[in-house]
Amino acid sequence: MSPNPEICPRTWAQRCRAWGQGLGAPEAAAPDGSAASAQGISIAELVDLHGRGGSRPLLLMLLACLCLPPIMGLGTAMSLAMFAIAWQWGHPSAAPLPQRLGRARLSPAWSRRTLHALAWLHDCAATWIRPRLTWLSHRASHGWWALWIVWMALLIFIPLPLGNILPGLSLIALCLGWMHRDGLMLLLSLLMGAIGTAYASGIVAVAVLALWRTLLATYPPLA
């Protein structure tokens, strides 16, 4: 159980699952009584499912989940918001959500997948995640984790094939570990981020090598 009473993963899971089931029913209304569910859920509504004015770790986790699907340009848009969150990482106040980003609406199919994935994630958090190795989330480490978020957001910003997945998973693990003070999840974030960095570095190295060989073939060196 989370030491913060405002963090209620079981309640969040129930809300996400209820909204997802409503999207799957024909002509169903959203849990709040609106008809917007037929159009899919907006990012602002997704944040509101977790309480008005989500914290920075929660908002970052939602953005990281949304950037996992292989949709062109989605990761780039989400990464810009991640940079802003990293700038004030550890600040206790609620994270402001840009209006333009908040109005963005997922399709009904992706809304259902995202909501059911979040429900599963919150259930796992309630069952398995607990405070341990809490020194990793100490106030003195805020700056280092902010730099890590910037690095992961930069990897997401770069348009690489499947390049969003490992940095996105790293940020999800970071946010879960931060909200629940679980240092093991923070270490898992570092591991997945390191693998993602190696993957991105490998792709860039192969691309540079291919470009170099092409240049040599096109413009051979003078004898």
pLDDT in tens, 171-217: 999 999 988 889 999 999 999 999 999 999 999 999 999 999 998 88
pLDDT at 35: 46
3-class SS string, 176-188: HHHHHCEHHHHHH
> How far apart, in whole angstroms, are the C-alpha atoms of residue 189 and residue 62?
16
Q: Does residue 29 contact residue 22 with C-beta atoms inside 8 Å? A: yes
pLDDT at 147: 94
Tokens 């309480």 belong to residue: 51
Using only the alpha carbons of the chain, give its radius of gyration.
Answer: 20
pLDDT of 75-108, one tens digit each? 777 888 888 888 878 675 666 677 777 788 888 8
Q: CA of 126: how far to CAs of 52, 98, 121, 176, in Å?
A: 21, 29, 9, 10
Q: Does residue 105 contact residue 41 with C-beta atoms inside 8 Å? A: yes
The reported pTM is 0.82
| Percent of residues, the chain, with pLDDT higher than 70 | 83
Structure tokens at 128: 């398995």
Q: What is the rounded average pLDDT for all residues in the chain?
A: 82
User: In the chain, what are the domain boundaries?
Assistant: 9-218
Nearest in space to 124 (alpha carbons), one of 83, 167, 177: 177
pLDDT at 39: 75
**Residue 214 vs residue 55, higher pLDDT:** 214
pLDDT of 100-135, one tens digit each? 777 888 888 888 888 999 999 999 988 888 889 988
> How far apart, in whole angstroms, are the C-alpha atoms of residue 18 and residue 116?
9
Structure tokens at 197: 């960095």
